[in-house]
Chains A and B, each alone.
Chain A
Amino acid sequence: MSVSRQTIEELQSKARIIRRHIVEMIAEAGSGHPGGSLSSADIVTALYFHVMNVDPKNPKWPERDRLVLSKGHAAPVVYAALAEKGFFPKEELLKLRKTGAMLQGHPDMKATPGLDMTTGSLGQGLSAANGMALAAKLDNKDYRVYVIMGDGEIQEGQIWEAAMTAAHYKLDNLTAFVDHNGLQIDGPITKVMSPESIQEKFKAFGWNVIDIDGHDIQQILEAVEEAKTVKGKPTVIVSKTVKGKGVPFMENQVGWHGKAPTLDQAKEALEIL
């Protein structure tokens, strides 16, 4: 598949807008998870603005592709994408986490148009995605199901129950991303509880595994296209990313997992973005 230089540049500039929203909305909320939202910004941008077949005017359209943000604490990245896509007004972004807001601290599909699943408690999203992918097979529909997991999240045992299931039922309409930024709340994933080798584990569970740079739009798009051609097994795209990507003082800093920038820090970040 060849994607034009122009398309890549458009997506890169969209990802920059998404990152600006993330910083602004979390700063305004006064709490939230900037690190993991920024690390998955390029993946989410590529999915919503190039890959996924969705209709902002009809969020429940049965034929749509679906995204389950299993690492639900990165909600701001999906909220920003949904608002940019037109699922709801951008003004909602600045009400994130406020009492009565449409945008909950973690994704609530009943509250927010465009969300395909309620998540937040880690380890549960891949199972729901399995159910959606099974449903597509039962219904002979050709929509695809995407999931984004964290590399810390895959310490949850349920992920591996779900990984077994996806391979057992040959869910080749399911593509999972692991946002491999290497950090979790308590420190580096390899220090807290190493999930390595992530690639070898998924391979052993019967998955097709693709390794990419999770900030390279071209690589993201190529991996997604490759996944579509792989029959009889699910694909996981292990995406090497940088936590806090795009905001230099947040990059690779564990402390920015779940901390909001002050208004001054946000201003500094936005000047760079």
Chain B
Amino acid sequence: MTNMKSPRIAYGEALVELGEKNELVVALDADLAHATQTALFGERFKDRFFNLGIAEQNMMGVAAGLSLCGFIPFASTFAIFGAGRAFEQIRNSICYPKLNVKIAVTHGGVTVGEDGASHQAIEDISLMRSLPNMTVIVPCDAIETKKAVFAAADIEGPVYIRIARPVAPIITKEEDNFEIGKAKVLKEGKDVSIFATGLMVAKALEAAVTLGDRGIDATVINIHTIKPLDEDLILKEVAKTSKVITVEEHTILGGLGSAVAEVLVEKGMKAQMKRIGINDTFGQSGDPEQLLEHYGLSAQNIVKVAEEMVENLK
């Protein structure tokens, strides 16, 4: 039985642990502290926690000001209100002056579930990776979320961490090395390379097992850092298979799939490629797992796409 844990719970716990180790760490939230789990930090470090109310644009500016005086602010809200509502504040007040602000948002993607499309950020990775100076991390499970929080605090400059809401399988180990910008090969294969990010890494691993049963040997790569992208590893892996599938809980426009395609095309790498993601449409209310299935973000669909790709090339 796989261990399960919500990445956002891991975020809340990691922030407290980081706060114990580093007194410069402060946390900000915009009236979602119990959902993003920054409330844990607020209970432990009353003076270092600032609830800014339902006002994300101001929150980003306050975080900028705190960072200018030596603090390491973690600003949290839902992905849609961070990357979306406060996009221009992140651009002009944080990324342009390259300030040491960590934007750790939860509720990325359609696994927000029942709240529906208005609350499901499916374009945030695209928006954030377009900003100069920004680092973009999408952890795949609870353990990696904690590592991402610590790693973000260790580097100077803005970082966007997109954290999932639901309880999700733990697929990495405590002892695994985590380095920003270094993708991880989780399973070696020779027939097709599956690049996944966030919760889709677990789906890709599940798909690889089924594919193996059917005689297709897939490589599964965890792209936890969308920016800077591990171009070397991507090129190396694709050179082995010439078949690429990207999987992301995000629009196929501008996210992981686009980033990988940019690298392959610019380096003249010949490969078959399929992007699995939200196909230029909004989300909807529903059970998170059912929504993932609906949008093709399931192990079953990854298997189907991989089989078609291999079949076509026979």
* A residues whose Cβ falls under 8 Å from a Cβ of B: 62, 108-110, 116-118, 120-121, 123-136, 138-139, 157-158, 161-162, 164-165, 168-169
Interface 0/1 of B71-106, CB less than 8 Å to A: 101000000000000001100110011100000000
The residue in B47, B70, B96 that gathers the most chain A C-beta atoms within 10 A of its C-beta is: B96
Shortest C-beta distance, B53 to chain A (Å), equals 7
Query: Which 10 pairs between the two chains have the least Cβ-Cβ distance?
Result: A131-B65, A127-B61, A135-B69, A161-B58, A161-B55, A118-B97, A128-B65, A131-B62, A131-B66, A132-B65
Chain B interface, DSSP helix/strand/loop, else mixed: helix
Is B52 on the interface with A (CB-CB < 8 A)?
Answer: yes
Chain A interface, DSSP helix/strand/loop, else mixed: helix
Residues of B close to A118: CB separation below 8 A? 92-93, 96-97
The contact of B68 among A120, A123, A125, A131, by CB within 8 Å, is A131
Is the beta-carbon distance between A121 and B69 smaller than 8 angstroms?
no
Is B149 on the interface with A (CB-CB < 8 A)?
Answer: no
Shortest C-beta distance, B49 to chain A (Å), equals 11
Is the beta-carbon distance between B98 and A165 smaller than 8 angstroms?
no
Given A128-B62, A132-B69, CB of A165 within 8 Å of CB of B55: yes
Interface 0/1 of B29-56, CB less than 8 Å to A: 0000000000000000001101011010
Contacts between chains A and B (CB distance < 8 A), count: 105
Given A110-B98, A164-B53, A169-B50, CB of A132 within 8 Å of CB of B68: yes
Given A108-B97, A118-B93, A169-B50, CB of A134 within 8 Å of CB of B65: yes
Is B63 on the interface with A (CB-CB < 8 A)?
Answer: yes
Is B64 on the interface with A (CB-CB < 8 A)?
Answer: yes
Could you tell me how many residues of chain B have their Cβ less than 8 Å away from some Cβ of chain A? 30
Is B26 on the interface with A (CB-CB < 8 A)?
Answer: yes
What is the chain B residue whose CB lies nearest that of A139? B69
Shortest C-beta distance, B76 to chain A (Å), equals 15
Is the beta-carbon distance between A130 and B65 smaller than 8 angstroms?
yes
The residue in A123, A126, A130, A136 that gathers the most chain B C-beta atoms within 10 A of its C-beta is: A130
